[in-house]
């Protein structure tokens, strides 16, 4: 398979207008390449993730005609895999335990970039976090956001395993993408800066480097960032409303205009969307209307 894409929601709420854009764009881009589209549930942050939301997200994807390939992967089923990885990184000297509290970091001005205190003074108090010892970083070209040079200040030794016993997103996402054979990622620009960290980890592990397309964030009509509340509502599930939402998403993604005649059946709409899809038409900025 030449192209494997994925959609990786966190079940902290239902699928909403913002996550629909990401789901739809990643689906269409994968299918345009005759590739696979996988769904992964990123539910490591257990206090905030709920099974009811997971169920609602999967049902909404199906109702919106976004059918995934293979079995849905769930991160909480993979804790042993993540633990193996950070332990082997520690054993190879590529990661180390860090006992610093947030107060410690603040008092040493070690935020946001860690000062490697615990690399030089091994942590002797529990609980400890595990930090990745970043040694190589490289810029990358984003299909939508252009050239992304390595940040001049580096990315800092970031956390792989949190002091509160939760596997960090950066570790899980890199291992999952690798083990699922993902080749291309289409996701929101809120994750653009995290990409440098993920690539640093991929480089150390000799994993194949992925291609990225970060979708623009949806801004309010006045150009300001939308509040989280704006996109907190669950999407409608009535057939006519589904078509309206899919059309709105395609307009926002720059693929069609408001006046465009569209099929009234979900399956036919997705086929139509696939026929017109061109990721290069995605605008630099998406304004909420
Ligand atoms: Zn420390």
Judge whether residue 6 has pLDDT over 90.
yes
Judge whether residue 211 has pLDDT over 70.
yes
Separation of CA 274 and ligand 1 centre (Å): 49
Both tokens of residue 239? 């057939």
Alpha-carbon distances, residue 171 vs 87, 88, 201 (angstroms): 12, 13, 8
Separation of CA 76 and ligand 1 centre (Å): 26
Specify the pLDDT at position 221: 75
Specify the pLDDT at position 229: 66
Separation of CA 99 and ligand 1 centre (Å): 5
Specify the pLDDT at position 198: 96
Angle at which helices 266-276 and 17-32 pack, to 10 degrees?
Answer: 60
Specify the pLDDT at position 289: 66
Indicate the domain borders of the chain. 4-219
Both tokens of residue 71? 């079995």
Average pLDDT over residues 175-184: 98
Specify the pLDDT at position 141: 97
Q: Which residues have C-beta within 8 Å of that of residue 32, sequence separation ≥ 6?
A: 274, 277, 279
Separation of CA 90 and ligand 1 centre (Å): 14
The superfamily in CATH containing domain 4-219 is HUPs (3.40.50.620)
Average pLDDT over residues 239-266: 95
Separation of CA 110 and ligand 1 centre (Å): 9
Judge whether residue 112 has pLDDT over 70.
yes
Average pLDDT over residues 118-145: 92
Percent of the chain residues past pLDDT 90, beyond the cut: 81
Both tokens of residue 178? 């690798």
Specify the pLDDT at position 247: 97
Separation of CA 96 and ligand 1 centre (Å): 9
Q: Looking at per-residue confidence, does 225 or 273 come out higher?
A: 273
Judge whether residue 223 has pLDDT over 80.
no
Please provide the average confidence, as pLDDT, over all residues in the chain: 93
Separation of CA 118 and ligand 1 centre (Å): 4
Separation of CA 256 and ligand 1 centre (Å): 51
Separation of CA 130 and ligand 1 centre (Å): 9
CA distance 264 to 259: 14
């Amino acid at each position: 398979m030449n192209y494997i894409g994925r959609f990786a929601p966190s079940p902290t709420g239902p699928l909403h207008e913002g996550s629909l854009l990401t789901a739809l764009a990643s689906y269409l881009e994968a299918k345009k390449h005759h590739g696979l589209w996988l769904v992964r549930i990123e539910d490591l942050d257990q206090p905030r993730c709920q099974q009811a939301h997971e169920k609602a997200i999967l049902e909404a994807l199906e109702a919106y005609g976004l059918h995934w390939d293979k079995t849905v992967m769930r991160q909480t089923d993979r804790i042993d895999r993540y633990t193996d990885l950070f332990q082997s990184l520690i054993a190879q000297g590529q990661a180390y335990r860090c006992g610093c509290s947030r107060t410690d970091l603040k008092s040493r001005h070690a935020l946001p970039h860690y000062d490697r205190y615990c690399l030089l003074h091994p942590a002797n108090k529990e609980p400890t976090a595990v930090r990745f010892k970043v040694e190589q970083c490289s810029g990358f070209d984003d299909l939508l956001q252009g050239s992304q040079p390595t940040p001049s200040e580096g990315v800092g030794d970031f956390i792989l395993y949190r002091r509160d016993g939760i596997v960090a997103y950066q570790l899980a996402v890199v291992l999952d993408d690798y083990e699922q054979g993902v080749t291309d990622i289409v996701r929101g620009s809120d994750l653009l800066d995290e990409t440098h960290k993920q690539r640093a980890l991929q480089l150390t592990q000799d994993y194949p480097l992925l291609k990225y397309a970060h979708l623009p964030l949806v801004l309010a009509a006045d150009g300001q960032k939308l509040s989280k509340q704006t996109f907190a509502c669950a999407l409608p599930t009535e057939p006519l409303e589904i078509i309206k939402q899919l059309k709105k998403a395609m307009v926002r993604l720059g693929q069609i205009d408001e006046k465009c005649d569209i099929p009234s059946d979900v399956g036919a709409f997705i086929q139509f969307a696939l026929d017109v899809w061109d990721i290069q038409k995605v605008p630099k900025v998406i304004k909420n209307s």
